[in-house]
Chain A
Amino acid sequence: MIKIKKINYFVFLLIMFYINSIYASSGSIMTVEEKYCKWEVKDYAIEKPLCGYIGNAERGKAIASDGSKGNCLACHQLPIDGIEAYGTIGPPLAGIGSRQSEAFIRLRVVDTRNINPMSIMPGFYRDPGLINRPGIHYIGRTFLTAQQVEDVIAYLVTLK
């Protein structure tokens, strides 16, 4: 009995080690695998928060600027002090909270192709079943977790 427990423990450690090394090597985007929550588009917007989560603007700001998470800075300028390298592919996001509604911003971040089918912007919570040739570590996953998306939205809404 004890032996089995020990083996289980080792297997657990091994798996954790393996998972950690994947994240370390590939620039982790998610720390936990979670169930995908379906969402609904109405009038170019998603009214309801993903999985009913409440966002946290502070965390959202960190996610938006973290190269391995949102990496919004790859394409957008954000009003964050001390950041020099940002992309010029998307529009600057300063003032987005007064230009757009929360529900519209949610669809933009979740799956922007519902607004512009040709958009270069990745869908951060696109149905994993629609992703073509996901890398082996990313099968069945979304770019950000539902909670992370809600955090980013909570942050963008504060950009008045």
Chain B
Amino acid sequence: MKLDNKIILIALLALLTTKLYAEPVSGYEYIKPETRTMQDDDFSNPGLLAVDRGQELFNKKYETDKTCSDCHGKEGEMFNKKRLARYPMYRNRSNEIITLQKRIRNCQATITENPLQTDHPDLISLETFVRNRAHGEIVNIQTEGPVAEEIKEGEKLYTTRYGLIDMSCQHCHDFYPGQMIRGQKISQGQANGFPAYRLATGEMANLHLRIQQCMTLLRAEPFATDSKEIEQLGLYLMSRSNGLAIETPAVRY
């Protein structure tokens, strides 16, 4: 009898954990076959325009006569791909989440008086170019140490309900991946493809914009650009993608 209970308990726990901690699956597996083809073909993937634009900006001379490529190479070949796959990082010294675009902006600030605003389309192009350098690398977010606290905060935000639609991110992306919401197949909401080209808007979206777009869909007030919340939520989403290959620029709904 006792043993039976134990077995049932273990079975239940196993069931629960498989449901909640299922293997990460890229959004690529959920999109339509023709969208996959579009992403895989360099001539039809619209995200590559952003990569090109990013490279142009990467090699642009600022008023100081300096360029990003001075330090990182014309093609960004001096970047350490393994390191790129670890963004967003956590800087213990300043207790701060460093997103890739923040890192780019900080670099920019050393060679120009006017670094780009967060989420500016040009900054997203730069982010796309840089992230694309690590295409195929495995997302590898550090989850131990002081960063764990931030990831936990992000998870709390992920499981909180928002807006008139009154759902949490978890509702759709953990409980119902593979199900249809009207004509759209819900994925796990993984972050490995971002910045990605969105068919729905016809524009590039980095992870922060994508989060804001889902929140608007929930008829909620999205977390502001540069807010602590959007960084924590983005960090949590990316940590869920640990083990997936970077697909930037992905093509997504």
**Chain B residues within 8 Å of A134, by CB:** 163-164, 219-221
Contact among A86, A120, A126, A141 for B182, CB-based, below 8 A: A86
Q: Which single member of B162, B172, B182, B221 contacts A73 (CB below 8 Å)?
A: B182
Q: Are A122 and B181 in contact (CB under 8 A)?
A: no
| A131, B219: Cα distance in complex, Å | 11
B101-127, CB < 8 A from A: none
Nearest A residue to B221, CB-CB: A133
Interface residues of A in 81-100 (CB under 8 A from B): 85-89
Contact A120 B180 (CB under 8 A): no
Bound-state Cα–Cα, A134 to B149, Å: 27
B167 near A87: Cβ-Cβ < 8 Å: no
Interface 1/0s, chain B 150-179, versus A by CB < 8 A?
000000000011111111000110011001
Which A residues between 16 and 71 are near B, CB-CB below 8 angstroms? 26, 29, 67, 71
Question: In the complex the two chains form, is B162's CB within 8 Å of A122's CB?
Answer: no
**Is A129's CB within 8 Å of the partner chain B?**
no
Give the distance in Å from the alpha carbon of A132 to the alpha carbon of B215 in the complex. 11
A75 to B219, CA, bound (A): 17
Verify A67–B180 contact, CB threshold 8 A: no
Main secondary structure of the interface of B (DSSP, over half): loop
Do A143 and B165 have beta carbons less than 8 Å apart?
A: yes
**Given A131-B166, A143-B164, A136 and B221 contact (CB-CB distance below 8 Å):** yes
The range of chain B's interface size is 20 to 34
Q: How far is the CB of A141 from chain B (nearest CB, A)?
A: 7
- With A29-B164, A133-B163, A138-B163 given, is the CB distance from A74 to B221 under 8 Å? no
Complex contact B166–A135 (CB within 8 A): no
CB pair A133 B162 closer than 8 Å: yes
Chain B residues near A75 (CB, 8 Å)? 181
Asked if B183 is an interface residue, CB under 8 A from chain A, the answer is yes
Interface presence of B216 (CB below 8 A): yes
Which B residues, 64 to 79, have Cβ-Cβ distances below 8 Å to chain A? none
Of all chain A residues, the one with the shortest Cβ separation from B229 is: A133
Q: Across the interface, do A131 and B182 meet the contact criterion of CB distance under 8 Å?
A: no
- A89-B179 in contact given A120-B171, A135-B216 (Cβ < 8 Å): yes
